[in-house]
Amino acid sequence: MRRRFWGTTVVLGLLAGVAPLTDATAAEPRRAEPRQKPLPLERLFDNRAVSSDEQPAAADFDGSGASLSAQDLTAAGWTPGRTVGVDAARLQLPRTQPGEPDNVRADGQSVAVAGRGDALAFLVAGTGGEASGTGTVRYRDGSSSEYRLTAPDWRSGPLATKSVALPHINSPQGQRTETARLYVVTVPVDRGREVSEVALPQDNGPDLHVFALSVRAATTGWSGTWSASTAGYTAVGPWVDRTLRLVVHSSVGGPRVRIRLDNTFARTPVRIGSATVAVQRSGAEPRQAPVRLTFRGSAGTEIPAGAQAFSDPVDFDVPADSNLLVSFHLPGSVSAAPVHSQAIQRSYLSTAGDHSGDSAPTAYTSTISTWPFLTGVDVGGGPGSLVMLGDSITDGVKSTQNANLRWPNVLARRLLAQNDVPHYGVINHGISANRVVSDRYPGDGISTDTGGVSALHRLDRDVLSQTSARTMVVFEGVNDVRWGASSGEVIAGLKEVAERARARGLRVVAATIAPCEGENLCTAPGVDAQRTAVNTWIRTSGTYDAVLDFDAVLRDPAHPARMLPEYDSGDHLHPGDAGLTALAESIDLKELAG
C-alpha cells in the first residue's frame, strides 16, 4: 500500500530544531511545482483488475492476487470498449484484454477530460476497504473546484448501490464463488463551465481504482413527465418472444418524446427488439398507430446488467395529463426483471411475437400490474421536473386503480391549471414499503421483496440523475419508525438526503410523516413518539428550503396520532382518494419553485 509522509517530515524537522526561515528566505517567492500534463485515462492505467478464467494469475487487482473474471463481465454485457449508461451518464469501458492494465490507482494523476455537464461520473471500486479522497476539477476558463470521491470496496461494499455484481473472484489458487462489485459514482461540477481536466484524488489509504471517467451531460431541452423507481428484481413469466404494452400517465406535455429503460439489479443483459409510444384510447388500444422509437439509430438495443438506455428523441405530441402506451418487444427469454411493483395501473402482455407496432389490441391477451424495465418518459421543452421521493403513500397504494389519483398526479393537475409557477413535470419515485435508512430489497438477486433499497441508497439513481430535476420533495420515515428505527436514525438519514440533494443544486422540500395509529405496527409502544420527534425536527431544524405539513393535513384534531376517518383508506396507514387529494391541494405551489 502506497503512503505519503510529506507532512510528517516537515513536523519532525521542526521538532528536531531545524532553524526557522529568516526574513530574507521567507521573502523569496516559492517556486511552483510543475503541474503534470493531463493524459487520457487509459494512458495512466497501472493496475490489472481483470483476468481470464483460464489464466487467473495474469491480474492482481488488490495486491493479494485476486481479480475480476473476464467471462463474468462478458456474461453481464460489460465487454471491453463498450459504452454503458448508468445514472444518466455514459462511460466507456477499458479497451483492454484480460491481463492487461485496465485501471488506475488514484494518486493525484491529471486526466484529460472535456465537456460541459452537471457531474463527473466515475467507474470505480476500492481494494483494501472503502477508499476515498479529494480531487480537483479544472475548467477551461482557468478556474477549479474540489470534489470528494468515495469508492466502496469491491468485495464488501453495499450491493444496494453497486452498478454491476459478478458471481466469482479469480485468484492464482482458482476461482471462488464470491460476489465482486463495480460502482458508478457521480460528483457535481460547475454547470456553467467547461471541464478541461480532472486531478484524481490523492492516495490516502485503501486503493481507489478508476476504470472510466466522463462528464455527465446536463439535461437541456427536456422535462420528465412520468417516472417510476425500480423496487426490486423479481421472477416473471418466463416471457419468451413477448411484447409488453405498459400504461403510464403524463404530467406535462410536449412535442417530442423519449423513454428510459433500466436493467437495474440484473446480472445479465436484456435485449429490446423494438419499442413504440402511443396515446391510449382504451385498454391496449392506441388512439392512433404507435410511433416507432430507436436507440442510437437502431430499432432495438441490448441493455447490460445494471445499465440503462434512452431512446432517441422522436417528434410525437405528448398530451398533458393523459395515458400513454409504451410498448417494447422482448425477443429472448426473460425469467426475471427489474420491476416497479405497485403500478396501481393495468398494463398488457402479448402473445408471442413483436406486437409493439400493433394498432389493434387483440394480441394483448394478458394483463400485468407492475411496470417492468420502463423507468422514465421525457418530453421536449418545459421548465424541468419535480421529483417526489417517497414510500407507499406517494406510490398511491390504496388509491383507485387506473384512475391516476396518487397525490403527485393531483399535484400535476394543479400545476397545469395555474400560471403563478412554471408547469413542471411531476415524477413519482415512491416505493411501497420503502425506508429512509435501511434496505427492504437487498439490492442484488431475485427476491419477492419489492420495498426497494433505502432512500439513501437510491438517491443518486432516483433523484440526482433524473431529467432536469429542479426540486426534490421527500416524504418518508413512517416505515422506518414502524419497524423500530429511532427518530435520531431517521433524522440523520433525512439530513443526509437534504445535504446531498442541495449539493447538486436542487431545492429540497420535506413533508412531515402522517399519523397512523390503529395500524398494527404503528400502534406499538413508542412509535408515535418517534414519528412526532421526526416531525418536530422537520418543522424546526431549518434543514429544508420548505416544509409541507402533511401530518397536520391528515390528522384527526381530536386524536392527533390517528388519521381523520374521511381520509383513511381503512387500514389507518394509507390515505384513500380523498386523503391523497387533500395532500396535493394543501401544497403552496410557490414553495416548490422557491
257-275 pLDDT, tens digit each: 999 999 999 999 999 999 9
pLDDT 10s digits, 102-127:
999 999 999 999 999 999 999 999 99
Burial of residue 22, with CB atoms counted within 10 A of its CB: 0-12 exposed, 13-18 middle, 19 or more buried: exposed
15 lies in some domain: no
pLDDT 10s digits, 477-487:
999 999 999 99
**Contact call for residues 234 and 363 (beta carbons, < 8 A):** no
Buried b (16+ CB within 10 A) or exposed e, 528-548: bebbbbbbebbeeeebbbbbb
pLDDT of residue 263: 98
359 lies in some domain: yes
pLDDT of residue 594: 76
pLDDT 10s digits, 487-497:
999 999 999 99
pLDDT 10s digits, 356-389:
999 999 999 999 999 999 999 999 999 999 999 9
Residues 567 and 495 in one domain: yes
pLDDT 10s digits, 55-98:
999 999 999 999 999 999 999 999 999 999 999 999 999 999 99
Q: Can you give the CATH number for the domain in which 399 is found?
A: 3.40.50.1110
Q: What percent of the chain has pLDDT above 90?
A: 92
CA atoms in the 13 A half-sphere facing the CB of 258: 17
Residues 311 and 371 in one domain: yes
Q: Mean of the pLDDT values across residues 537-565?
A: 98
Residues 189 and 259 in one domain: no
- Structural domain that includes position 448: 383-594
Residues 564 and 432 in one domain: yes
373 lies in some domain: yes
pLDDT of residue 297: 98
6 lies in some domain: no
Residues 186 and 304 in one domain: no
311 lies in some domain: yes
CA 309 – CA 90 distance, rounded (Å): 10
Strands (DSSP E) found in 155-300 = 164-169, 176-188, 195-199, 207-216, 222-227, 232-249, 254-262, 270-272, 274-282, 285-286, 291-293
What distance separates the 2 farthest-apart alpha carbons in the chain?
91
Residues 371 and 392 in one domain: no
Residues 92 and 169 in one domain: yes
Residues 370 and 393 in one domain: no
Q: Residue 124, SS3?
A: strand
27 lies in some domain: no
497 lies in some domain: yes
DSSP string, 436-493: SSS-SS-SSS--S--S-S-HHHHHIIIIITSTTEEEEEEE--HHHHHTT--HHHHHHH
Q: Mean of the pLDDT values across residues 296-304?
A: 98
CA distances from 237 to 170, 241, 351, 356, 591 (A): 33, 11, 12, 18, 44
| Final residue in a domain of this structure, among 216, 249, 266 | 216
| Final residue in a domain of this structure, among 379, 404, 433 | 379
Residues 374 and 387 in one domain: no
Q: Mean of the pLDDT values across residues 452-461?
A: 98
Radius of gyration of the chain, Cα coordinates, nearest whole angstrom:
26
CA distances from 539 to 241, 494, 517, 553, 555 (A): 52, 13, 21, 14, 16
Helices (H) and strands (E) in the chain, counts: 12, 35
pLDDT of residue 34: 58
Whose cell is 411496470? That residue is 371
Q: Mean of the pLDDT values across residues 307-330?
A: 98
Residues 363 and 394 in one domain: no
Residues 341 and 403 in one domain: no
**Contact call for residues 196 and 39 (beta carbons, < 8 A):** no
pLDDT averaged over the chain? 94
| Final residue in a domain of this structure, among 355, 379, 403 | 379
107 lies in some domain: yes
End-to-end CA distance of the chain: 48
pLDDT of residue 225: 98
pLDDT of residue 251: 98
**Contact call for residues 126 and 206 (beta carbons, < 8 A):** yes
pLDDT of residue 35: 67
Whose cell is 446480472? That residue is 267
**Contact call for residues 472 and 494 (beta carbons, < 8 A):** no
Domain tally, the chain: 3
Residues 415 and 538 in one domain: yes
